[in-house]
Amino acid sequence: MRGQRGPAGRRVERVEFDLQAVRELAYEYQLLSQVASRVETQILECFRSSTETTLTTSEIAEQIERPKTSVSRSLGRLVEKEQLSKVQSGVYRRKD
């Protein structure tokens, strides 16, 4: 990438990145994609990026732009897989 143009036309002289961190991220993504559906992955990311520890089915559906029925089914599977816990009807908490 040396000598190429970056954002706003600025010249990029050098790019560095942590290869170990990239490997770990790729490994985690590969594991997650093998055990979780796309909707489940989006739900977990929604919890990960939220400052709240509990979210409702409606909040999640709105954030990931999926139908509530799909989100509800996936939430049930994530509870079965012990990735989330059900606080009450329609309210879920991430497991830390």
- All residue ranges of the chain with pLDDT < 70 are 1-8, 31-35, 96
CB 61 within 8 Å of CB 68: yes
Pick from 33, 36, 21, 23: which is nearest to 83 by CA?
A: 36
pLDDT for residue 91: 97
pLDDT for residue 34: 64
Please determine, looking at this structure, whether the domain spanning 4-94 carries the CATH number 3.30.300.20.
no
pLDDT for residue 27: 76
CB 71 within 8 Å of CB 60: yes
Mean predicted lDDT score pLDDT of the chain: 86
Name the residue ranges covered by the structural domains of the chain.
Answer: 4-94
pLDDT tens-digit profile of 67-85? 999 999 999 999 998 989 9
* Residue 32 identity: L
Pick from 92, 17, 95, 27: which is nearest to 61 by CA?
A: 92
pLDDT for residue 4: 60
CA distance 96 to 93: 9
pLDDT for residue 1: 46
